[in-house]
């Protein structure tokens, strides 16, 4: 008889929403059940948000039930993302017995371990293609990572490749980007990180100020703008650089008022006193610095508005090399991968993988802007920042090296940053930002003092800016 090939085994689903729903329902029915699963073990975002609320309530000594969990989600602005009150109320309706919670937890944990194994295998495959990859170190990393995720220590972090590659990849000290704006945390080469913020919170200004740091340090930078023109970006960059030089030279803060209208200062003949003339000198210095960086090839601008996906990826491959800082403004505006997923969530995931592959191939460092959902936005309340709120994230936060949150305080004037993810160290660090919006200048100030309760004071309306276009210099920004 001819030999028959065995039929391939059916693929196992790597999640079970019934187990997740029933387990969360058990926790709501019996508030004394000890919680042991990591938040990441839940595949469904709604279940993950609800479980996080349960963890937070338990940490605060508050029993998690339907009312307290709904209230906590409403406070954090994630109630709608979690499905709303009706979904939460439905969680307990299909629980046969809360006594079976251990069985459901074990099933959820097993599926999470399988997903982690696939992630480890994909990362192992990617890093094995690195020119300086060491097989022994790779094998050691893979064994430890798989052992970690098959045992009970799931709340520990995965060991990073840098733990084992430090010598064989021969990273110089300056291979990491450590921007002062973000507290000096490390951005290693070959990685992708994100600045997450709602619209108008200053993502572009933050990246402009990162560019200002790299120009001062002589580091090669590729700025890809998908929303703003070359003129707008160079305008922000020169203004920020000029303001930074002025502060470095001790330009007194009390004398800033004469220079708050930058449109007046970019005229060929500035009007209005000695301070304006002093700052005009700084403006001239800034133009010179940016021009030298642009013509010298250390600062490269690419206008990605209207460009195809392949054109942007090819620009990264052609212009970036090891240690180049790539600033992408921003990932949700990136054109989709050809023949990729149509769903917005999966589309962003496809884009992220393409950017990550290009970053790894060039051994560059990519920092991209990412939109945060407006859910929970309320006057008189500081912005809620969380990885789960990245809009149409496509799970980009899972693959990211670092995620930096940028938000407004309740007064809608003061900005702050929070380290939402940091593979190399501590998360949760927060600082306030000194931000002069007129000059697009941003620098880290002191540690943030979290508000005890939301302020109910209404923000003052901003006066409408009136600009005399006839008195603005039209051609200063053409640097090449």
Supply the pLDDT for residue 10: 41
Q: Do 101 and 33 touch, CB atoms closer than 8 A?
A: yes
- Whether residue 254 sits in one domain with residue 119: no
- Whether residue 164 sits in one domain with residue 193: no
- Whether residue 431 sits in one domain with residue 393: yes
Helix or strand run (H / E) with residue 266 = none
- Is 70 exceeded by the pLDDT of residue 418? yes
- Whether residue 140 sits in one domain with residue 265: no
- CA separation for the pair 323, 359 (Å, rounded): 10
Q: Do 34 and 105 touch, CB atoms closer than 8 A?
A: no
Copy the structure tokens of residue 153.
Answer: 């220590």
Please, what is the average pLDDT of the chain? 76
- Whether residue 133 sits in one domain with residue 197: no
Helix or strand run (H / E) with residue 128 = helix 101-128
Q: Do 196 and 385 touch, CB atoms closer than 8 A?
A: yes
- Whether residue 395 sits in one domain with residue 357: yes
Residue 159 lies in a domain: yes
- Whether residue 273 sits in one domain with residue 157: no
Supply the pLDDT for residue 462: 46
Would you say the pTM of this structure is higher than 0.75? Answer: no
Write down which residue in 148, 170, 192 finishes a domain: 170
pLDDT range class, residue 161, cuts 50, 70, 90: very low
- Whether residue 200 sits in one domain with residue 155: no
- Whether residue 314 sits in one domain with residue 330: yes
- Whether residue 146 sits in one domain with residue 63: yes
Residue 401 lies in a domain: yes
Write down which residue in 140, 170, 200 finishes a domain: 170
List, in sequence order, the alpha helices (H) in 296-412.
309-319, 344-362, 396-399
What confidence tens digit (pLDDT) does each residue in 238-270 have?
Answer: 888 888 888 877 764 444 444 444 434 443 333
Residue 367 lies in a domain: yes
- Whether residue 233 sits in one domain with residue 97: no
Supply the pLDDT for residue 6: 36
- Is 60 exceeded by the pLDDT of residue 372? yes
Q: Do 365 and 191 touch, CB atoms closer than 8 A?
A: yes
Residue 456 lies in a domain: no
Domain span at residue 89 reads 11-170
Residue 384 lies in a domain: yes
What confidence tens digit (pLDDT) does each residue in 14-58 have?
Answer: 788 889 999 999 999 998 898 888 888 898 889 999 999 999 999
- Whether residue 124 sits in one domain with residue 138: yes
Number of domains in the chain: 2
Helix or strand run (H / E) with residue 193 = strand 191-197
Residue 472 lies in a domain: no
Residue 477 lies in a domain: no
Phi, psi of 308 (to 5 degrees): -80, 160
* CATH code of 33's domain: 1.10.860.10
Please, which residues bridge with residue 441 across strands?
436
* CATH code of 325's domain: 3.40.50.300
Residue whose pair of structure tokens reads 């790539």 in the numeric block: 326
Residue 469 lies in a domain: no
């Amino acid at each position: 008889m001819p030999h028959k090939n065995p039929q391939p085994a059916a693929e196992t689903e790597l999640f079970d929403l019934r187990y997740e729903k029933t387990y969360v329902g058990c926790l709501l029915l019996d508030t004394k059940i000890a919680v042991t699963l990591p938040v990441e073990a839940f595949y469904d975002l709604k279940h993950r948000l609800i479980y996080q609320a349960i963890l937070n309530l338990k940490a605060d000594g508050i029993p998690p039930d339907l009312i307290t969990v709904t209230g906590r989600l409403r406070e954090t602005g994630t109630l709608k993302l979690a499905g709303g009150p009706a979904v939460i109320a439905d969680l307990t309706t299909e629980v046969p017995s809360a006594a079976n919670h251990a069985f459901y937890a074990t099933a959820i944990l097993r599926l999470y371990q399988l997903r982690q194994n696939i992630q480890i295998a994909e990362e192992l495959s990617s890093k094995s293609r690195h020119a300086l990859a060491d097989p022994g170190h790779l094998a050691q990393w893979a064994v430890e990572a798989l052992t970690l995720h098959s045992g009970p220590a799931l709340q520990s972090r995965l060991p990073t490749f840098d733990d084992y590659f430090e010598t064989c990849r021969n990273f110089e000290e300056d291979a990491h980007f450590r921007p002062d704006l973000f507290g000096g945390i490390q951005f290693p080469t070959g990685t992708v990180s994100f600045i997450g913020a709602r619209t108008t919170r200053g993502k572009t200004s933050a990246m402009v100020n990162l560019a200002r740091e790299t120009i001062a340090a002589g580091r090669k930078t590729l700025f890809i703008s998908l929303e703003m023109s070359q003129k707008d970006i160079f305008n922000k960059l020169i203004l920020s650089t000029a303001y930074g030089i002025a502060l470095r030279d001790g330009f007194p803060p009390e004398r800033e008022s004469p220079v708050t209208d930058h449109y007046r200062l970019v005229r060929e003949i500035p009007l209005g006193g000695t301070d304006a003339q002093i700052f005009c000198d700084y403006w001239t210095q800034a133009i010179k610095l940016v021009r030298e960086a642009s013509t010298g090839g250390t600062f490269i601008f690419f206008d990605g508005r209207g460009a195809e996906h392949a054109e942007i990826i090819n620009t990264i491959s052609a212009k970036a090399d090891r240690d180049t800082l790539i600033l992408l403004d921003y990932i949700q505006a990136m054109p989709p991968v050809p023949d990729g997923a149509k769903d917005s969530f999966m589309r962003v995931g496809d884009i992220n993988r393409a950017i990550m592959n290009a970053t790894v191939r060039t051994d560059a460092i990519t920092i991209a802007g990412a939109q945060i959902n407006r859910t929970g936005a309320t006057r008189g309340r500081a912005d809620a920042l969380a990885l789960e709120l990245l809009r149409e994230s496509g799970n980009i936060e899972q693959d990211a090296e670092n995620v930096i949150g940028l938000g407004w305080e309740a007064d809608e004037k003061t900005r702050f940053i929070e380290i939402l993810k940091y593979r190399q160290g501590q998360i949760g660090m927060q600082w306030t930002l000194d931000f002069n919006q007129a000059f697009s200048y941003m620098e880290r100030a002191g540690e943030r003092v979290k508000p005890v309760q939301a302020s109910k004071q209404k923000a003052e309306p901003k006066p409408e800016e009136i600009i005399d276009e006839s008195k603005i210099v039209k051609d200063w920004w053409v640097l090449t």
